[in-house]
Structure 1
């Protein structure tokens, strides 16, 4: 009867590779190229039993020569997949009693099985590096587990000396290999490998003798592994040590920065001490003693840049006299323009000159308001009134008045001071008013 373990082999394999896939995702922090592919050859002893217990079909299991090779892909420093192949012979007989002392009365005296092939895909997990703080180790321990297929031809010899063959057909059975080993790095390209694998067979015909339990065989071997490519071997790379080195460098950098910061603080304290003498202000007026020409200024006094009391000039009061108003009034009376235009007639210049001189002398401000009668359209009169006021402003500025103190506005016919029904009333409405302030 076959084990249920083999019936769930696909599920077991899926769990194995999914579980180890997480390890394969671990990034390698070094930028140095690594060797990740390798091949290995080995040779050793094949024995048709397992030290882990279970029934043995023969009381005296012999050790025979076996050999193998493999190809391996290293995904992280901890995890790899390895494709193994093993060949050799398995032998045993019943010439001795079982370890329990029970005599062997089997009708089969011995067996000789040719292991034509044993191929398996194994997940290999590196257990740890011997020195956690060393980037590259020379010794590494590992465990492995996988699944595969074994093909073999058993021959048994009966108690009367008759040999019975399985025939030309090779028997193929599923196997689950579980192993452990130690690897020694000789160079960046060569490793010495010691290993031991127990292979559980999904059948009871490995030795040609059926006793109702699955057979098993183990393979202890020594061999050489050759790393392909260039650079260091990823399998012997120790990210723990690399992380430790990076942390140590970070600490050294932090210590150096702290030293620089302490030195800068001392320098700043020295500068503050020197600046306190330079910036000393005994009277509290905001001017340092070294620059203060009036060192005993009373508290609250507004001072200038030299520390002396600031003299505030008295505001100038603009006083418009009757004489000033008379000058403006005469200018209004004498102001004439060409008919329907904004051109000032020359007879108005003399009185405008006196207004300009008044503005310059007393720094007055002046508002000019242009007005018209109702002859013509509203738009035309508005434009004409604005142009005449601007014309008066331009003339006064040409005589030295400050343009920023003169405001010129046109109101058109919107603000009459007399009737527009008579010629005399319309004459009064055609005007430019002067307002001093």
Structure 2
């Protein structure tokens, strides 16, 4: 086996250059990886347990020992050869993943064509054939954007990648003396910096078509078996393949958080509108209840009989009316001596004890009607006068309590009048919380203070 003269010295120099370039390349590698990690930390997504985050990919394509982005080529005719690879990927967020890539194949070139610049090579190497035994790299992959921001699931995804790894290769060179191994049986290992772009097309929830192109910057100048020391070698890999997403559910990489957030905002808006409609309906119902209460207590002609019970509306002021609001025909006023017995007081006391209203309202409960009917009969039979005094506890504002106590006293009066009692002989007054008979600090005391007092005279 023939070894190129001076190879030992060149390999020694190359090792020194590789170490130097390794330190120069580290900031680029770390910047790319940290940028992807920052994107992962800042991007809010749904819990990844709902999505497929692991995948494997296989691909095949063309390996070419040059870069179209510039730099000198050591040979005039760089050939395209078959390459193949596979990868394992972990998707951390919608936009960021880490991918472990492996690529194998061959790189070939010769000087059978003239250089475009007219340069005539002076080296003795006329062709090379490099076997790429392995190329392994860890890459940070960033999805550029979702094609449609208003679709939760997109079918096309563009991405860019950057990483670092090692490539092991064996160049075979052709000189005037024949074909020989550049480094004998030794596999040369060099640091590589892969930079790539690609596009994925989702076929189903578990399968994607993957098209990509990666330029690999080699930390050395012996990939083609020719050491010139001017600049490092490069090779690119254009490929097509299939990616298989593992697990169940949708793919996290194709999930669009912008569209999901938009849909959530619309749902929240619809809920808010529904709640507003319910609130408006409740306000309308409250207004109707207030109107009904006012109609129940309205006495337009001031005769002491509510309009809803007044059979003779519009009676002149001061006219004595009966329980239905119609004028009484009294030829002369007869003053009678009022005698209130103990039995009369018991009837009134029973009415006070059994009197109940709906909570926070002036509506008399039906269980109170029987005792009130006995009071009404007593007023009709003996022509008594009656004073109704409404009281409340101190819960709520003073104004509200005053209105409620007055309304409850008026409700009792209206009911007694509806049973035949003389409205002109019944006085209804509200005192609110001003005259408690017990402490308002306890529930029992407040219950005693919520009352309507009946006074016969």
Per the shorter chain, which TM-score range? 0.5 to 0.7
CA 1:243–1:284: 2 relative to 1, 3 Å:
farther
Residue 162 of structure 2 corresponds to residue 158 of structure 1: no
Give the drift of 1:174: 0.2
Residue number among 131, 135, 149 corresponding to 1:118 in the alignment: 135
Taking the aligned partners of 1:90 and 1:238, their CA distance within structure 2 comes to 40
Give the drift of 1:170: 0.4
Residue 80 of structure 2 corresponds to residue 63 of structure 1: yes
Indicate the SS of the match to 2:265: helix
Residue 42 of structure 2 corresponds to residue 20 of structure 1: no
1:227 corresponding residue in structure 2: 245
Taking the aligned partners of 1:262 and 1:303, their CA distance within structure 2 comes to 37
1:355 corresponding residue in structure 2: none
Give a deviation string over 1:311-351, Cα, whole Å, max 9, x none.
9xxxxxxxxxxxxxxxxxxxxxxxxxxxxxxxxxxxxxxxx
Indicate the SS of the match to 1:145: strand
CA 1:285–1:229: 2 relative to 1, 3 Å:
farther
Taking the aligned partners of 2:303 and 2:131, their CA distance within structure 1 comes to 110
1:252 corresponding residue in structure 2: 270
Indicate the SS of the match to 2:225: coil
CA 1:67–1:310: 2 relative to 1, 3 Å:
closer
Count of equivalent residues: 306
Residue 22 of structure 2 corresponds to residue 6 of structure 1: yes
Between structure 1 and structure 2, the one with the greater Rg is: 1
TM-score by length of structure 2 reads 0.61
Residue number among 292, 297, 309 corresponding to 1:274 in the alignment: 292
| Structure 2 unmatched runs, 5+ | 1-13, 311-315, 319-386, 390-408, 414-422, 430-457
Taking the aligned partners of 1:45 and 1:107, their CA distance within structure 2 comes to 28
CA 1:287–1:28: 2 relative to 1, 3 Å:
farther
2:70 corresponding residue in structure 1: 53
2:199 corresponding residue in structure 1: 182
Give the drift of 1:130: 1.0
Give the drift of 1:56: 0.9
Residue 152 of structure 2 corresponds to residue 135 of structure 1: yes
Write out aligned runs for 1:16-415 (5 A).
Answer: 16-25=32-41, 26-29=43-46, 33-159=50-176, 161-211=178-228, 212-280=230-298, 304=389, 305=409, 306=413, 308=426
CA 1:165–1:22: 2 relative to 1, 3 Å:
closer
Q: 2:80–2:108: 8 Å Cα contact kept in structure 1?
A: yes
Q: 1:90–1:112: 8 Å Cα contact kept in structure 2?
A: yes
Indicate the SS of the match to 1:28: coil
| Structure 1 unmatched runs, 5+ | 312-437
Taking the aligned partners of 1:14 and 1:79, their CA distance within structure 2 comes to 15
Q: 1:79–1:124: 8 Å Cα contact kept in structure 2?
A: yes
Q: 1:17–1:123: 8 Å Cα contact kept in structure 2?
A: yes
Indicate the SS of the match to 1:146: strand
TM-score by length of structure 1 reads 0.63
CA 1:62–1:284: 2 relative to 1, 3 Å:
farther
Give a deviation string over 1:364-389, Cα, whole Å, max 9, x none.
xxxxxxxxxxxxxxxxxxxxxxxxxx
Indicate the SS of the match to 1:29: coil
Give the drift of 1:263: 3.2
Q: 2:53–2:92: 8 Å Cα contact kept in structure 1?
A: yes
